[in-house]
């Protein structure tokens, strides 16, 4: 069976973008793939994390995986730092990737901001660790939100350069899976900005653990525009929202995409349903749908995080199974590079 790898950082404030752009797809893919879902704690520390908060957030991401419906028997759920192969392969990839490639990464530029000199070396080398995550298991398919596309292109380049440099076919060519109508969920306050864990205003995002009242308030106050909702005639020939349409009404298409993803419907069907209605009516329907989906999941996350021993047991078992897959790959890599090993 084809293998999937993906990960989420335990940096707090898991939100609707993480759910719709990634975790919801992880759940759907477990029927057809051999899946490894990681809590990437080593990526998290590329920016300073309070140790107690890191532990709690690691368990919270694992709880989100479980509450969303990922089956820890069929899939592997674990935290990155428990499997040494990630750090080992990342170092080798630090020696394969070129500075010029990393200099083009827009996420580093965004996260480091003006204070580039003060950013950690880990933040800069972050995409190499991401490539190692995937390739330590020779995974071929990687479900992510749209913001990770550039990192995955780099991971492909690293795999190809490694294979070329050593004249081997060790690493497969991986494919991003950017799925569904909410691969890029935008802030509820500003349709030009991505919904993000680090945005200071909590009103900009719906958190996976938000209560019904908060969800309702955030959707009611979400920025919209003065027009009525567009009908399906606004879609392009392929039934998709064109970039031009999105640019003209970013908030409207963001909310429509969220609705479509939550309802598991094509965005065109949602536009047919709500064509010509007022935002107030649409927002009420969106609130009901979001509360119905996120409410039970948030409650299950809270229940699980109150029982850390059960979450830790899942992570321990997952790490053991992950190690069993990564170790033979690492032996092959060490032999290829010329490292003597026990
Ligand atoms: P992270 O933790 O920032 O986000 C986790 C997943 O959520 C997606 N996502 C979104 N999707 C739609 N709309 C949004 N506003 C939104 N915000 C976040 C992300 O695309 C991601 O899929 N580098 C990764 C973690 C990682 C990883 C990997 C992923 C580490 N190693 C290997 C895949 C394979 C990250 O920071 O995700």
Residues 12-53: pLDDT tens digits? Answer: 999 999 999 999 999 999 999 999 999 999 999 999 999 999
Does ligand 1 lie within 6 Å of residue 185's CB atom? yes
Ligand 1 pocket, residue 195 CB under 6 Å? yes
Q: For residue 21, how far is its CA from the centre of ligand 1 (angstroms)?
A: 8
CA dist list (Å): 286 to 129, 213, 246, 258: 38, 13, 19, 8
Asked about 194 being catalytic, the answer comes back as yes
Residue 111 known to be catalytic: yes
pLDDT at 293 over 90: yes
Which of these is catalytic: 24, 138, 194, 218?
194
Tell the residue nearest (CA) to atom 33 of ligand 1. 6
Write out pLDDT tens, residues 188-225: 999 999 999 999 999 999 999 999 999 999 999 999 99
The whole-number pLDDT of residue 146 equals: 97
Give me the CATH code for the 202-304 domain, please.
1.10.240.10
Is the shortest distance between the CB of 234 and ligand 1 below 6 Å? Answer: no
Which run of H or of E encompasses 264?
Answer: none
Ligand 1 atom closest to the Cα of residue 146 is: 20
**Where is pLDDT greater, at 339 or 242?**
339
* Distance from residue 39's CA to the centre of ligand 1 (Å): 11
Strands 141-143 and 76-79: unpaired
Which helix (H) or strand (E) segment holds residue 224: the answer is none
Q: Does the structural domain 3-183+308-337 have CATH classification 3.40.50.620?
A: yes
Q: According to the model, what pLDDT value does residue 239 have?
A: 84
> Of these residues, 149, 197, 217, 265, which one is catalytic?
197
Active site residue 193: no
Q: How confident is the model at residue 237 (pLDDT cuts 50, 70, 90)?
A: confident
Average pLDDT over residues 294-309: 97
Summarize pLDDT for 315-330 with one digit per residue, the tens. 999 999 999 999 999 9
Q: Is the dihedral of CA 59, 62, 67, 73 positive or negative?
A: negative
pLDDT tens sequence across 162-183 = 999 999 999 999 999 999 999 9
Residue-range domain boundaries for the chain: 3-183+308-337, 202-304
Q: pLDDT tens digits for 278-289?
A: 999 999 999 999
pLDDT digit string, tens, across residues 104-158: 999 999 999 988 999 999 999 999 999 999 999 999 999 999 999 999 999 999 9
């Amino acid at each position: 069976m084809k293998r999937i790898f993906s990960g989420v950082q335990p940096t707090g404030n898991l939100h609707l973008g993480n759910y719709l752009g990634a975790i919801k797809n992880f759940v759907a893919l477990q029927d057809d793939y051999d899946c490894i879902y990681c809590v990437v704690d080593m990526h998290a520390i590329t920016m300073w994390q309070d140790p107690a908060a890191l532990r709690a957030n690691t368990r919270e991401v694992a709880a989100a995986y479980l509450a969303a419906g990922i089956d820890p028997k069929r899939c592997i759920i674990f935290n990155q730092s428990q499997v040494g192969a990630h750090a080992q392969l990342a170092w080798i990839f630090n020696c394969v990737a070129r500075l010029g490639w990393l200099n083009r990464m827009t996420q580093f530029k965004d996260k480091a901001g003006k204070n580039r000199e003060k950013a950690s070396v880990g933040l800069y080398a972050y995409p190499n660790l991401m490539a190692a995550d995937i390739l330590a298991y020779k995974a071929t398919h990687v479900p992510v939100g749209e913001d990770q596309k550039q990192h995955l292109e780099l991971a492909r380049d690293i795999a190809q350069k490694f294979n070329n440099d050593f004249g081997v076919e060790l690493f497969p060519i991986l494919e991003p899976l950017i799925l569904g109508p909410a691969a890029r969920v935008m802030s509820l306050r500003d349709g030009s900005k991505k919904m993000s864990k680090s945005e200071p205003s909590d009103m900009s995002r719906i958190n996976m653990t938000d209560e019904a009242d908060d969800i309702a308030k955030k959707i009611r106050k979400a920025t919209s525009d003065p027009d009525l909702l567009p009908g399906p005639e606004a879609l392009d020939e392929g039934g998709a929202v064109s970039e031009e349409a999105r640019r003209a009404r970013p908030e409207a298409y963001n909310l429509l995409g969220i609705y479509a993803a939550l309802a598991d419907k094509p965005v065109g069907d949602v536009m047919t349903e709500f064509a010509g209605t007022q935002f107030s009516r649409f927002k009420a329907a969106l609130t009901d749908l979001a509360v119905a989906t996120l409410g039970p999941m948030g409650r299950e996350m809270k229940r699980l995080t109150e029982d850390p021993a059960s979450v830790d047991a899942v992570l321990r078992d997952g790490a053991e199974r992950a190690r069993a897959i990564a170790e033979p790959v690492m032996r092959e890599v060490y032999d290829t590079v010329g490292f003597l090993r026990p």
